[in-house]
Homo-oligomer: A and B are copies of this chain.
Amino acid sequence: MKKYKNEKEFLEDYDDTKYDKLSMTSDILLVSVSNKDNTNYRKTSKKMISILLVKRDEFPFKDKWCLPGGFLNPKKETLDECAKRILKKETNLSEIYLEQLYTFDDIERDPRTRVVSTAYVALVDKNKLTDKLNENALWFDIAEISYQDNIVNFTLNNKQETIKFSIKKNLIEKTTNQYSYSIIKNESIAFDHPKVILAGIERIRNKINYTDIVFNMMSEYFTLGELQDVYEVILGEKLLAPAFRRIIANKVEKTDKMLTGKGHRPSVLYKYKSKSI
């Protein structure tokens, strides 16, 4: 091997074309909250988690649904910037909560060639999306996430279509409960994106208890009942109101606004109060 006197000389002589390279993408699980419409004037409309899917109009996986994503330009952007560029294209918003989730890299995850994908979770209040969505993009409600043993069954809905898929969780590390995922049923979703959806939902579920992550999906003003509903749909369990209110008490502040017209006692609207450090 050639000996170099210094780093500058080494770099000038460096030829990266002799090494095997690969492509990377950023894929984004964009999550929000919807209201399930309701006919009974008394009942409040229940909350649901929604995710944005895009219908592929090219091969591979033509006509399947996938997460918004795109190839990284290795010369001039980071994965974060790539994710933001894609979000901007899909939602026309720049100020969106974004968090790196996991890097997915099964060798065969893309049939074209080796593509490693760094997945992101993005959270948004859907009501802020005033612009019309890209015509291939649609919000799906997560109608159900059911756990049976180590199998997770998802049901996604939009007005035209229902999507189902199932993932098996295999415990690979006892000390920290690490699981590997294998897709055991999936007809509608492209790539390994079912895994990304599950990993992202579980990330939010974990973080909801020790961070203020939920407020990225809430409107500016909300009732404590709505907030509790969102916690319940994310956690998949009912909470008791007094305990819930104690826990979130110092994350919210009362406003002088009220939500009325609901066939029951009106409720005070609250705002998110970020911790002053």
Chain A residues in the interface with B (C-beta under 8 A): 4, 6-7, 10-11, 14, 16, 19-24, 59-62, 71-80, 97, 99-100, 102-103, 105-107, 111-114, 116, 118, 173-178, 207, 211-213, 215-216, 274-275
Q: Contacts A74-B20, A79-B116 given: A212-B176 contact, CB under 8 Å?
A: yes
Q: Contacts A103-B100, A175-B213, A275-B174 given: A112-B16 contact, CB under 8 Å?
A: yes
Bound-state CA distance A173–B100 (Å) is 12
- A interface majority secondary structure: loop
Q: Which of B4, B22, B79 is within 8 Å of A105, CB to CB?
A: B79
Bound-state CA distance A100–B174 (Å) is 16
Q: CB-CB < 8 A to A61: which residues of B? A: 7
Q: CB-CB < 8 A to A79: which residues of B? A: 103, 105, 116
Q: Which 7 A-B pairs have the closest CB atoms?
A: A21-B21, A10-B59, A22-B74, A16-B113, A175-B212, A176-B211, A74-B114
Q: Which of B14, B72, B99, B100 is within 8 Å of A113, CB to CB?
A: B14
Bound-state CA distance A233–B16 (Å) is 42
